A and B are shown apart, each in its own frame.
Chain A
Amino acid sequence: MSRSTMNWAAIDRDPRFQELHRRKAGFLWTLMAISVAYYFALPIGAAYFQDLFKVKVWGPINVGLVFALSEFIVAWGIAWIYARRANTQFDALAAEINANAAGMGGGR
C-alpha cells in the first residue's frame, strides 16, 4: 500500500467527514449509555426491588427472570441496531471519504 502523506487536517474539515463524525458520535454514545444504564438496572433492581422481582408473570416465571433474559435481548438488539446503521450508512460515508482523501485540501 502506498504511504502517500495525506492532509489529515483538511480531511477532518471536509464536510463529508464532518457529516460522518456528526452521525456517528451521538449515535454511538447514546447506544452505549442505554446499554450501561440497562445493565446496571439489573443488580440494582435485584438488590433494592426484590418484591418487584418476585412478582410472577407466567407460571413460575417472575419479573426478575424476565428482566435478566431481557438483558440478552437488549444487548443483541443494540448490537443489531448498530451493525445495521454502520453497514448501511457509516461504511458508505467512510468509503466515499477514503476514495477522495488524496485530493482533499490539495494534499498528496
Chain B
Amino acid sequence: MNVRRTLAAALLALAPFAAHAQGAVNQDYRFLTFAVFGAIIALTMYVTYLAARRVKSASQFYAAGRSVSGIQNGWAIAGDYLSAASFLGIAGLISLYGYDGFMYSVGWLVAYITVLLVIAEPCRNIGKYTLGDILAFRNKPKAAKTVAAISTITVSIFYLTAQMVGGGVLVKTLIGIDYEVSVITVGVLMLAYVVFGGMVATTWVQIIKAVLLVTASVILVFFTWMPYGFSLPGFLDAVVADPKVQAQVVKLIGDPAAQMSASELGQRFLEPGLYLKNPIDQISLGMALVLGTAGMPHILMRFFTVPTAQDARTSVIWAMGIIGGFYVLTLFLGLGAAINVGAAKISSIDAGGNMAGPLLAQYIGGGESSLLGNLFLAFVAAVAFATIVAVVAGLVLASASAMSHDIWVGVVKGEHATQEEEVRAARVSSVIVGVLAIAIGILAKGQNVAHLVALAFAVAASSNLPAVLLTLYWKKCNTGGVVLGMLVGAFVAIALVMVSPNMTYPLAVKATAQKTIDATPAKLEKANAELAAAVDDAARATAQKALDKANADLKAAQGKLEQFKDQTTSLVGLEKPLIELRNPGIISIPLGFLCVLLGSLFYRDKRAEEMWDELYVRQNTGIHAEGASAH
C-alpha cells in the first residue's frame, strides 16, 4: 500500500494551479488556504495509512469491521451527508432570499426520521454490506442484486457528477485554481482514501470533515451573533433594519415595493415567497428528500459499520443532532452574510449565493485586507474542499461495493470468492468508479448540474426506498415487485427530469440571448452618456462598470447564439418542456410503490414467501445479525 506515493501525487496535483485565475481568496493569502488544506490532507492521509494496514478482509473494506461506535458513526453520517451544497448553498439561499432558504433546509433533517424509524435498525439486522444484500435476503439473490447495483450506481453517478462539477466550480470561485485541477485533486485524494483505506479511512475522513465543518460554523455564528448579545429578536431587528436587506427585497419583489415602508421591506425578508414560488414543486422535492435519504446507498452503507442495531439507532440520533444543529446555524450564517456582506456583493461573485459563508468569514475576521479575515476565509475554503472530498469518497465506496460485492461476487462468481479476491475486486472497482467520476467531472464542465442532486434523491426515493420498505414490511413482496418497481421508479424519475424545465432548451436560450443583444445599443448609449457626464472619479467608475457589463453581456449572449446556432431542441428532442414540474418525486415515488405492489401480486415467488418469517423475526430481534469482526 503505497500511501506516501499517492500523497505526493495529490500534492503535485495541487501545485500547478493557474496563477492568473482569481478567486474569492486574495492572491496574497492563497498560501493560507493551501496550508490549511495541506494540514487536512496530511491528517487524513495519516489516518488512511493506519487504516490501510487493517483493511485485509471484505468486512474491513466495506464496513470497517463493524467496529465503528454509534457516536463516531453519527459524525460520519453527518460528514457523508452535509455536502458543499448544504454547507455553502443553503447559507447562500438564506443570504439572498431570507425565509425561503431556511424553509428549504428543514427537509434535509426531517429525512432522518424515516431513516431512524423504519430503515436503520432493520437494515443493520438483516444486511451485510450493500443495498443488494438487503434486497437479496428474501428475493431471488441474482435478480435483486443486479437491479440494486444498477440503481446504486445510477444514484451515485448523478450525485457524484453534481459533487464533482459543483465542487470544481466552487473551488475555482473560492481559490481560483483551475477547474480541471480541482476535479483531479478531489478525484485523486478520494481514490487514495477509498482504495487504500476502504470504509475505515472513509469513515475517519468523514468524521474529521464533520468536526471541522461544525467547528467553523460555530465560530462564525458566535462572532456574528455576539454583537446582538445573543438575542434572537435583537439579531432579527438588525436584519429588518438593514438597508442592504431592504434593497435586496426591492430587487426581488419589484413594483409592489414602492408602496412599502423601509421596515416593511426588511420584515418581508423574514416572510415566505421570495424564492420558492411553486408549492407543488416544493412538496415534490420534500417527498424526494424525506423518502430518498433513507434509500441513498452511501447512507444505508453506514449502518453496516456499527456492531449492533442499537448502535445504528444511536448513530442516527447523533447524526440528527449534528445535522439539525448545523442547519439552525446556517440561519445565522445566511442572515449574518446578508447584513454584513450584502446580497449584491455575494451574488456578484456567485449568482447562486455560494460565497455567502466564505465572505462572512472574511468579514468576521476583519475584512478583505486583514490577515485574520483572510485566515478565516482560507479556513472556510479549505473546509469546503474537504467537504467535497468526504462526500465523494462515500459515494465512490457505495458504487464500488455494488460493483464488486453485488455484481462481481454475487452475480458473476455466484458468491464464491475468497476474502483476498473480494477485497482486490473492491479496490479495482473503486479505481474504475473514481476514474469515471474524474472523467465525467471534466467532460461535464460548464454544464448545469444543480438539478442532479434533487434527481439523485428522487431516484433513490422512487426506486430504492419502495423496494427496501416493502421487502422489510410487506409479507407478499417478492422478486417480481422489487425488479419492476426499481426499474420503473428510476426510469420514470429520470424521464420526467429529461422533459422538465431543468433541461436546456436552445430556442428559449436563443430568445433570451437575442433580447439581450437587442437591448445592448440602448444600454451602451446610456452608459456612454453617463461616462461623458461624469464629474468625479466615483461616477466615472460606476459608468465604466455599467459599460463593461453591457459589453460582457453582449459577448455572452453572442456566444450563446453561436453555441446553439444549429440546435432547436433539447437533449431529448423537445422544443419546450413537456411538464412544468422540476422535481419528479410526486409522480415517480407513488409509481415506484405501485409497481412493487403490482409486480409482487402478479409474480409467484415461493422463496420470498417462505423467508418472510425469518426476515421479520430477524429484522426485529437481531438474531443472527452480522457481528463485529475481530481484527
Bound Cα distance A86, B623 (Å): 17
Q: Is the CB of B236 within 8 A of A60?
A: yes
Q: Would you give the 0/1 interface string for A36-68, flagging 1 where the beta carbon is closer than 8 Å to chain B?
A: 100110111011101001101011111011001
B229 interface residue (CB < 8 Å to A): no
Q: Is the CB of A43 within 8 A of B279?
A: yes
Interface centre among A48, A80, A82 (most CB of B within 10 A): A82
**Interface residues of A, dominant DSSP:** helix
Residues from chain B with a CB closer than 8 A to the CB of A91 are 310
Minimum CB–CB distance from B309 to chain A (whole Å) comes to 8
Q: Take A62-B270, A65-B99 as given contacts and tell me if A101 and B616 are in contact as well, using a CB distance cutoff of 8 Å.
A: no
Minimum CB–CB distance from B452 to chain A (whole Å) comes to 22
| Nearest opposing residue in chain B for A104, CB measure | B617
Q: Is the CB of B317 within 8 A of A79?
A: yes
Q: Is the CB of B113 within 8 A of A53?
A: no
Q: Is the CB of B617 within 8 A of A43?
A: no
Q: Take A59-B236, A60-B240 as given contacts and tell me if A43 and B276 are in contact as well, using a CB distance cutoff of 8 Å.
A: yes
Residues from chain A with a CB closer than 8 A to the CB of B107 are 39
Q: Is the CB of A46 within 8 A of B273?
A: yes
Q: Take A32-B117, A71-B110 as given contacts and tell me if A44 and B279 are in contact as well, using a CB distance cutoff of 8 Å.
A: yes
Minimum CB–CB distance from B335 to chain A (whole Å) comes to 11
Q: Take A39-B106, A42-B106 as given contacts and tell me if A28 and B286 are in contact as well, using a CB distance cutoff of 8 Å.
A: no
B232 interface residue (CB < 8 Å to A): yes
Select B233's contact among A61, A86, A87, beta carbons within 8 Å: A61
Bound Cα distance A43, B118 (Å): 24
Q: Take A9-B613, A12-B616, A76-B324 as given contacts and tell me if A47 and B282 are in contact as well, using a CB distance cutoff of 8 Å.
A: yes
Tally A-B pairs: CB < 8 A. 151
A98 interface residue (CB < 8 Å to B): yes
**Interface residues of B, dominant DSSP:** helix
Interface size, B (range): 35 or more
Interface size, A (range): 35 or more
Q: Is the CB of A75 within 8 A of B113?
A: yes
- The A-contacting residues of B in range 90-135, CB under 8 angstroms, are 99-100, 102-103, 106-107, 109-110, 112-114, 116-118, 121
| Nearest opposing residue in chain B for A36, CB measure | B290
Select B290's contact among A20, A39, A72, A76, beta carbons within 8 Å: A39
Bound Cα distance A9, B267 (Å): 62
Select A79's contact among B102, B116, B232, B273, beta carbons within 8 Å: B116
Residues from chain B with a CB closer than 8 A to the CB of A32 are 113-114, 117-118
Q: Take A20-B620, A59-B233, A83-B313 as given contacts and tell me if A47 and B279 are in contact as well, using a CB distance cutoff of 8 Å.
A: yes
B62 interface residue (CB < 8 Å to A): no
* 18 additional A-B residue pairs with CB within 8 Å, beyond A12-B613, A53-B271, A59-B234: A8-B617, A8-B618, A20-B621, A31-B117, A35-B110, A39-B110, A39-B290, A46-B272, A46-B279, A68-B99, A68-B103, A68-B106, A71-B106, A76-B321, A79-B112, A83-B313, A94-B622, A98-B621
State the 9 A-B residue pairs at the shortest beta-carbon distance, nearest first: A59-B233, A47-B279, A46-B272, A8-B614, A8-B613, A60-B236, A43-B282, A35-B113, A39-B110
B interface list, Cβ under 8 A from A: 99-100, 102-103, 106-107, 109-110, 112-114, 116-118, 121, 232-234, 236-237, 239-240, 267, 270-273, 276, 279, 282-283, 286, 290, 310, 313, 316-317, 320-321, 324, 327-328, 613-614, 616-618, 620-624, 627
7 CB-based A-B contacts, threshold 8 Å = A17-B617, A39-B110, A46-B273, A68-B103, A79-B317, A80-B317, A101-B623
